[in-house]
């Protein structure tokens, strides 16, 4: 009897192999899915360690998708949507965001903001109680001894230049504004040592006038988020103002600055603990491991005291200690 041809073998094999379909069920038993459940649980737990974070650099699907290896430019509309979504999520994380300088009135806020240059708000808050106890009004400060003022504000650094500024603005308030802090940016920026950043801090938090506070934290984060590539504070202010309604400007400033101080640090951002990593084009510049990232968190996020000695009632962290406290 002759052997069947290869074609016939294939046909015969197909016919004979039909029972093999019935052998498929044993194959399913050989790979029980339940045995890999622990690994799946670990993966799920790892993902939960970063709320809402994705494993990809952010912005993809938000106007930064890739096509043929090249990044597709984000449209202005997509940028506005992504920027406003970041603001909404930051509003949930920092629902208690506030100015981190202690003050009781516009004059105290103005002086404290000038003193905050090149130092921390914490150091300013530890320094101003003695200063305001000695010189509670513009008239008092304008008539003070420069040497005594220098000694009081020495902990803030650059105390000679700062003494000249705060005594100069106190004299200007006394002589030109009846001892009151003006509520217009045009008047504020004419005071010694007062620029747009300081003016908007005072206007937004003492007078309720919306403004964007473009400090080093704000500028760093909005560039990381690709809201703008500008480095000049005035140009950054204009670019970001174009993305948000005016009513959001003051609180947006607080939220961005809070995030920059607590999570999105300059040298090593805590990407693995960031609640908006899926929206951030710079995701991965810092530590992405969730456990290592948690160790980088500052202030109340890291279980540490905040910057204010007298924080607002809704602040969830600890009050900062006074100067010299152990």
Helix ranges (DSSP H) in 116-232: 121-134, 138-142, 146-153, 159-176, 185-188, 196-206, 216-224
Rounded-to-integer distance, Cα 116 and Cα 289, Å: 33
Rounded-to-integer distance, Cα 315 and Cα 312, Å: 5
| pLDDT for residue 202 | 98
241-266 pLDDT, tens per residue? 999 999 999 999 999 999 999 999 99
What are 297's two structure tokens? 């968190």
Show which residues are catalytic: 197, 215
Which H or E run contains 106? helix 106-115
What one-character-per-residue DSSP string does 25-64 give? HHHHHTS-GGGGHHHHHHHHHHHHTSTT--SSPTTTTTT-
Residue ranges of the chain whose pLDDT lies below 70: 1-71, 326
Helix ranges (DSSP H) in 116-158: 121-134, 138-142, 146-153
| pLDDT for residue 114 | 98
């Amino acid at each position: 009897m002759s052997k069947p041809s290869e074609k016939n073998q294939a046909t015969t094999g197909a016919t004979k192999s039909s029972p093999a379909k019935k052998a498929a069920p044993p194959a399913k038993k050989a790979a029980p899915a339940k045995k890999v459940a622990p690994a799946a649980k670990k993966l799920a737990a790892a993902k939960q360690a970063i709320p809402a974070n994705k494993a990809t650099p952010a912005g993809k699907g938000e106007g930064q998708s890739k096509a043929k290896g090249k990044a597709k430019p984000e449209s202005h509309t997509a940028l506005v949507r992504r920027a406003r979504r970041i603001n909404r999520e930051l509003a949930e994380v920092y629902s208690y965001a506030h100015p981190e300088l202690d003050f009781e009135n516009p004059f105290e806020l103005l002086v404290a903001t000038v003193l905050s240059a090149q130092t921390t708000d914490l150091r300013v808050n530890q320094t101003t109680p003695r200063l305001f106890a000695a010189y509670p009004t513009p008239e008092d400060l304008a008539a003070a001894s420069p040497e005594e003022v220098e000694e009081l504000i020495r902990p803030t650094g650059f105390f000679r230049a700062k003494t000249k500024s705060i005594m100069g603005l106190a004299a200007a308030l006394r002589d030109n504004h009846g001892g009151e802090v003006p509520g217009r940016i045009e008047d504020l920026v004419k005071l010694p040592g007062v620029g747009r950043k300081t003016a908007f801090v005072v206007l937004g938090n003492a007078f309720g006038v919306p403004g964007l506070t473009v400090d080093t934290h704000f500028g760093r984060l909005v560039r990381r988020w690709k809201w703008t590539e500008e480095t000049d504070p005035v140009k950054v202010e204009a670019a970001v103002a174009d993305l948000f309604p005016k009513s959001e400007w003051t609180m947006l400033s607080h939220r961005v600055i809070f995030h920059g101080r607590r999570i999105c640090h300059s040298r090593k951002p805590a990407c693995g603990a960031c609640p908006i990593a899926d929206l951030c084009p710079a995701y991965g510049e810092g530590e992405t491991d969730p456990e290592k990232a948690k160790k980088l968190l500052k202030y109340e996020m890291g279980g540490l005291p905040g910057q204010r000695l007298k924080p607002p009632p809704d602040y969830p962290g600890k009050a900062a200690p006074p100067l010299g406290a152990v």
